[in-house]
Chains A and B, each alone.
Chain A
Amino acid sequence: MVRKFLIFILIASFSVIFINLYQNFKGQDKLNDLSTYYAENEPQELGAQNLVTSIVVTYRGFDTLGEVTILFLAASIIGFFLKIKESDKQKKRDLRKTSEILETASKILVPLIFLLGVYVFANGHLTPGGGFQGGAIMASGMVLLLLANPEKNVKHSLFSGIESISGFTYVILGLLGIYFAYGFLDNRVLPLGQFGNIFSAGLIPLIYTFIGLKVGSELTNIVGNLKETQKETE
């Protein structure tokens, strides 16, 4: 009872703070200085149509490197934490047979989902989307495959390989910027190309492709690890 009362008091005080915040909130009516700079100079400087992508990959590219590192850390901690014994790995789980609808649908849908994922991260500098979103779409295709074939396992060595190679290439591409352009993760190593084309914006599409592969394989590894631990309990 006391507990419920304390929770109620906490939430009530939070709502007082929020009501104050809400009453003093004034929507912006123009861009602030930094965003104005990005909006005015980005097309000439970096040549990417999607401003969010240019901020994520180039202007604040170092943040994205840290973000990718955090995702990598989370994936590897889960892999370490959910490691199961060799004897458990051989166990057979008796699962219900997958329904025919799911099996047939997965054969048609999985290649299309992968195609959509590749489209989303290859066009990250032109349309909404990018490496993280495309990687998540590809991982969802892998989840569909796992649901359709529950006795198969994720091949961790393959996905760890893809992940480390693409992460390494991302850093190498960033380092190229120091020698051939104006700084770490600068995209002007390659020519900027014509504004709005798929081969434009220098290194941004390449970097986003590698981020997409890395995120997709990391998420697949996480899902695979979560699935395999269930063998332990039986």
Chain B
Amino acid sequence: MEYISLITGFIMLMIGLWGILSQKNIIKIIIGFTIFDTAINIIIISIGYISGRTAPILDKAVPVKDAVTKIVDPIPQALVLTSIVISLGVTALMLAYALKLHKYKNTLEINKFKDLKW
């Protein structure tokens, strides 16, 4: 199971990287970044997975006394929660910049923005 999600994560990571590098439209580049973020989250989660175990919630299914042998690693999941929030903030900022860029040049084509080239 963890191998499947690891492969999915790696493939998605490569798709995201390809999108960031090869697309010309700024919105598509941002979509590439979000795919990249999601892929990294999937990889982190799959590292913490232990096969045959369940979510780290100590309810009826997981009695408190044998929690150690029944739950997956909770720390990567807590880290992914942080990383999701950060990627949301980054995506919102990128979209705001895209709006402003579109306002000044009336285009989203990345090749038209040459002000920083020398």
| A and B associate in one complex | yes
| Chain A contacts to B: CB under 8 angstroms | 4, 7, 10-11, 14-15, 18, 21-22, 25, 27-32, 34-36, 38-40, 43, 49-52, 55-56, 60, 63-64, 67, 70-71, 73-75, 77-78, 81-82, 126-128, 130, 132, 195-196, 215, 219, 222, 225-226, 229, 232-233
Give the most central of A32, A67, A126, A226: most B CB within 10 Å: A67
Interface of A is mostly: helix
Known: A39-B71, A49-B58, A70-B86. A22 touches B93 (CB 8 A): no
Q: List 8 A-B contacts (CB under 8 A).
A: A31-B71, A39-B56, A51-B74, A56-B81, A73-B89, A74-B92, A75-B92, A226-B96
Bound: A39/B69 CA distance, A: 9
Min Cβ gap A74→B in Å is: 3
**Inter-chain contact A82/B50, CB cutoff 8 Å:** no
When distances are taken between beta carbons in the complex, the residues of chain A under 8 Å from B31 are none
* CB-contact partner of B74 in A21, A38, A64, under 8 A: A38
Min Cβ gap B94→A in Å is: 10
Min Cβ gap A198→B in Å is: 13
Bound: A60/B14 CA distance, A: 31
**Inter-chain contact A43/B6, CB cutoff 8 Å:** no
Bound: A47/B97 CA distance, A: 44
Interface of B is mostly: helix
Bound: A4/B95 CA distance, A: 26
Residues 21-80 of B at the A interface (beta carbon under 8 Å): 21-22, 48-51, 55-59, 64, 67-69, 71, 73-75, 77-78
When distances are taken between beta carbons in the complex, the residues of chain A under 8 Å from B55 are 128
**Inter-chain contact B50/A30, CB cutoff 8 Å:** yes
When distances are taken between beta carbons in the complex, the residues of chain B under 8 Å from A71 are 85, 88-89
* CB-contact partner of B2 in A27, A63, A126, under 8 A: A27
* CB-contact partner of A56 in B6, B59, B69, B78, under 8 A: B78
Bound: A30/B43 CA distance, A: 18
Known: A49-B57, A127-B57. A63 touches B14 (CB 8 A): no
User: B117 contacts the other chain (Cβ, under 8 Å)?
Assistant: no
Min Cβ gap A88→B in Å is: 11
